[in-house]
Amino acid sequence: MNKYSYQDYLDFNLKISDLNGISSLLQWDQEVGLPKESMDGRARQIAGISGIIHELYTSQYYRDLLNYLENNVDLDKTQKLNIKLSKKDLQRKICLSKEFVEELSSAISNSYSAWEEARSKKDFKLFSPFLKNLIKLKKQEAELIDKSKEVYDVFLDEYDAGLKSKEIKIIFEKLKPQLISLLNQIEKKEKIDISITNKIYPNNKQWDFGIEILKEIGFNFNAGKQDISTHPFTINIGEKDIRVTTRIVENNLNEMIWSCLHEGGHALYEQGLQSQTFGIPESEASSLSVHESQSRLWENHIGRGLSFWKLKYKKLQNLFPENLKDIELNEFYKIINAVSKELIRTNADELTYHFHIIIRFEIEQLLFSNDFNIDDLPEVWDELYFKYLGIKPENDEKGILQDVHWAHGSFGYFPTYTLGSLYAAQFYEHAKRNIENLEQKISDGDFSELSKWLKVNIYEKGRLQTSEEICVSSTGESLNSQYFIDYAKQKYTEIYAL
């Protein structure tokens, strides 16, 4: 009689996933409306569940189960790969004690609360001690997981298996001169007036339009929902419960539109994963780079595309006639694609956006060097913004405190945004080659063939293929930044008559 079965593996991982879902639900609630005085208790609750999950995941039972199934000749290719990937995940977790996991989880919850307060008061000093503690713990985590690797590479491997900082540097160094050249050409042209997007757009009407956008692109509200948060995010509560948040600013139409499309892209990926084997690698996203390719594809290639606004602009005009009645479609298209050096990453255009990422990548390299003083962070941030974009933030809210990632302990996440943009350009170009009249279909509100192409080529691969393997299998070649450069050149040549 077999000691363990593959069903035992499925059942165990479903149990772990359900506990992770409970933890995610607590985090969701923490970020969308938890009473201020409840923060300490919530940090304890999340830390406690994290400890329970870690204890179960690293139990002798699960180790024995994976070791037994690893040598089971009756498993098919997919089942064996699931076991192999789960063993890799387990090896990473075994390195950490339950006590350390609870301490890190608690530190992240407290760090988030401190970040929110510091951001509201525009004062980095309120967040600094929490960030120092978090970085200390993350350094310990990296050393416990793999002493042989650079600290930062340990984090990168978690977000995109095998990715190394030296590879990112090569990609960024190749990209920078191309972006700078295009940016210099655009700066010689007449500026596009974007002031129309900064008129008053009532919050409730923006909210309704954001919901309509999500429905339009295929977000299933029977298996998900949207709410408001300080920083937009997507979270997986369960196989049929994917949640997104948006941010609405009454005098900035861009905030809501781009966050809905960006997080909507993440959510479509999560909703498109296989749900029948929820909790194991084949039902998980390949990597954060591929995840970000989906948010950037829907935000930029679709959402900033003329075809999408042929579909949606009349509705937007009808919602806000006092602002948009005299703005023609082509003019609006140019406005939402105007290139300008802005302080806020999430509002940046497709060109300057990558300098926001390069700045954060360079800072993260500094954060994990031994001789960097965290208190100097706002000054370093300002210097890099002036170096790359020629601008400086007037306060910490629009500078060092604008992103939630570091408060979450998500170091190494930022590079995946640019990698995601590069993947997105390559994926979208090949989708266009494979779907006849795709742009016209988008104008007609028909996203069915694009959704099918993405599902077959990306979503359904789960984690059984790496970023590189998905790229090769769906486009016939490795990641090639020239797709993005060609796309950007064509787009901005038309918009700015270069």
CB 302 within 8 A of CB 456: no
Catalytic residues: 263
Q: Is 193 exposed, middle or buried (0-12, 13-18, 19+ CB in 10 A)?
A: exposed
The answer to whether 75 touches 10, Cβ cutoff 8 Å, is no
Cα 21 from Cα 12, distance rounded (Å) = 14
**DSSP structure class, residue 298:** I
DSSP 158-209: HHSTT--HHHHHHHHHHHHHHHHHHHHHHHTSPPP--GGGGS---HHHHHHH
Burial-class residue 184 by CB neighbours within 10 Å (0-12, 13-18, 19+). Answer: exposed
Beta-sheet strand order (sheet of 234-238): 224-228, 241-246, 234-238
Closest residue by Cα to residue 82 from 306, 278, 348 = 278
- Phi then psi for residue 470, to 5 deg, are -65, -40
Q: How far is residue 483's CA from residue 344's CA, in Å, rounded to a whole number?
A: 26
232 token code pair: 């937009």
Q: Are the CB atoms for 465 and 473 separated by under 8 Å?
A: yes
By the 10 Å C-beta count (0-12 exposed, 13-18 middle, 19+ buried), 301 is classed as buried
The SS3 of residue 228 is strand
Composition of the chain by helix, strand, coil, percent to 5: 65, 5, 30
CB proximity list for 52: less than 8 A, separation 6 or greater: 19
Nearest to 352 by CA among 180, 198, 194: 180
Cα distances (Å, whole numbers) of residue 103 to 41, 51, 117, 141, 368: 14, 9, 21, 11, 19
Residue 87 has a CB neighbour count (10 Å cut-off) of: 14
Type of residue numbered 352 = T
Distance CA 174, CA 474 (A): 24
